[in-house]
Amino acid sequence: MSCPLPDTFEQALLQAQRALRNAVEAGHTRLQVEVQTGRRSATDLARPLLDMMPQPLLAVSGTGIADYAFTRWGETPYKILNISERDYIGNNWQTLALIDASSIDVDEVQLYAERAKAGNKHFLMVNNWPEGPGLTGIGRGKESVRRAFRSTVEVAYFLQAFRYRPVVLFRRFPEAWQIWERQGESFKLARESAQIFSAREIAAFGESVNPLVAVERFFKGPSFFHSW
């Protein structure tokens, strides 16, 4: 199998767009896209994805991100609100996109998701730096509640590299979840699963790193994203 991992942010965007379109065409209405790199903002990630969703679209951003989105995107056909402005979302939309909201409570995310479901509309979560694998939009709250909510979300695209492990976690709809392990200058498929891998399964891919390298990785982040 040839390695599908993107070499650039632009390649990741194209992959995410195709995967998201495929998921929508397959009938999924509660979707997630996540590319975990601090080198690009969730706002940059989200903009090319929004055109893949049914229109008109309402973009709801994490606290303080709406102004940044206005600056980055310029004139758009989308209404943009901060996440605290739930009373103003109205009903004149077919998709609600929740952007960069990893640290809010799961209860609040569920309110938005259920609002979309009640109107037979689409719900999309987009993020780039959550607290852990698959936790977009649900960074706090009871684990049982978060797990139950995650089970209702179809992950259309997911890309996560690690500072201290030689692996990349990857998924693009409709394919399986994959762990790609770095071997020299290339990556080899290590495992596949129908479900996202647990933290324990990922931890099995250990790597011995001296203290100086560990400090460097802490500040620079995963080497996989250095060219982005």
Is pLDDT at 169 greater than 80 in this prediction?
yes
- Domain ranges across the chain: 9-225
Give yes or no for a contact between 166 and 207, defined as CB atoms under 8 angstroms apart: yes
Overall pTM > 0.85: yes
pLDDT tens column, 76-111: 888 888 888 888 899 999 999 998 876 566 777 888
Which of the listed CATH numbers 3.40.50.150, 3.30.1330.10, 3.40.50.300, 3.30.390.50 matches domain 9-225?
Answer: 3.40.50.300
Give me 90's structure tokens: 């109205």
Q: What is the mean pLDDT of residues 60-82?
A: 80
Alpha-carbon distance of 91 to 56, in angstroms, equals: 10
For range 136-148, the mean pLDDT: 66
| Residue that wins the pLDDT comparison between 17 and 138 | 17
Note the helical H segments in the chain.
9-25, 42-50, 65-73, 106-118, 143-150, 199-203, 211-220
> Reading across the β-sheet that carries 95-99, which strands appear in turn?
79-82, 57-61, 95-99, 122-127, 30-36, 154-161, 167-172, 177-183, 186-193
- When computed from its CA atoms, the radius of gyration of the chain, rounded to whole angstroms, is 17
The DSSP secondary structure of 155-208, one letter per residue, reads EEEEEEE-SSSSEEEEEETTSPEEEEEEETTEEEEEEEESSPPPHHHHHTS---
Proportion of the chain above pLDDT 70, given as a percent: 86
